[in-house]
Amino acid sequence: MKARTAKDSRTIMTDMVLPGETNPINNLFGGELLARMDRAAGISARRHSRRIVVTASVNHVAFNRAIPLGSVVTVDAKVSRAFKSSMEIYIDVWIEDRESGVKAKANEAIYTFVAVDETGRPVRVPDLIPETEEEIKRFDGALRRKQLSLLLAGKIKPNDATELKALFE
């Protein structure tokens, strides 16, 4: 199985915020943004694995900036690390100023997807080769995030969380 790069999985979805997608103060509903991010992340995971994929977890979501009615929103997703059958997908959300066209980061999220066969059983995915400085940083952080998640779920013991231990030594 040939390793792939993050750019091979990159998925960019751009859309406008419409009235039916907003809350009473005319900002995009958080759930609507979550759905957009899930779709982009799913496409990204599928591009990397070339398999059926399912959302395993939403590991992190930061709603840092409100997204007003009429905004142009871009969801940019790509695989940040591949494990045995799971993939971490890092998502950046940008909004574009209507008048100047300047883009600003509004939100970010980290999702985990698992590749499965037709019966729903996990299958192996290709490794990921990070290329840019940002991709390397996200790739390295993915192992720490995975170990923390496993530790909190009681699936590994603290001594087995080697990447986390290294942070405190």
Work out the average pLDDT over 58-84: 95
pLDDT class for 14, splitting at 50, 70, 90? very high
Number of H helices, E strands in the chain: 4, 7
**Beta carbons of 73 and 28 less than 8 angstroms apart:** yes
pLDDT class for 165, splitting at 50, 70, 90? low
Written as six digits, the tokens of 132 are 């840019």
pLDDT digits (tens, 9 = 90+) for 102-112: 999 999 999 99
User: What is the distance, to the nearest Å, from the Cα of residue 114 to the centroid of all Cα atoms in its chain?
Assistant: 13
Is 4-128 assigned to CATH 3.10.129.10?
Answer: yes
The model carries a pTM of 0.91
Average pLDDT, the chain: 94
pLDDT digits (tens, 9 = 90+) for 126-160: 999 999 999 999 999 999 899 888 888 888 887 78
pLDDT digits (tens, 9 = 90+) for 20-51: 999 999 999 999 999 999 999 999 999 999 99
Cβ atoms < 10 Å from Cβ of 77: 28
Its sign, for the CA torsion 130, 57, 122, 39, is: negative
Please choose, from the candidates 36, 111, 110, 109, the residue with its C-alpha nearest in 3D space to the C-alpha of residue 71.
36
pLDDT class for 72, splitting at 50, 70, 90? very high
Where along the chain do its domains lie? 4-128
